[in-house]
Amino acid sequence: VDKSRDLTAKGAGLGLAIVQSIMRLHGGRATVTSEVGRGTRVSLWFPPGPVARQR
């Protein structure tokens, strides 16, 4: 767990909502899992897209 983060500052609470909206626009999803004393994991899944051509 990274204790260097200052948790006293309050945000608007929009960060994960914005991430979720962006992921939906891309056809993907975002998941968040958290364990007390261990930390939080945010995972982003993007659907496969076309592979870029090699020149």
User: For residue 8, what are the contacts with CB-CB under 8 A and spacing of at least 6?
Assistant: none
Nearest by Cα to 20 from 34, 7, 32: 32
Q: pTM for this one?
A: 0.59
Indicate the pLDDT class of residue 6, thresholds 50, 70 and 90.
low
Please give the span between the terminal C-alpha atoms of the chain, in angstroms, as a whole number: 44
Indicate the pLDDT class of residue 37, thresholds 50, 70 and 90.
very high
Question: Which pLDDT belongs to residue 13?
Answer: 75
Token couple for 38: 């261990």
Token couple for 9: 């500052």
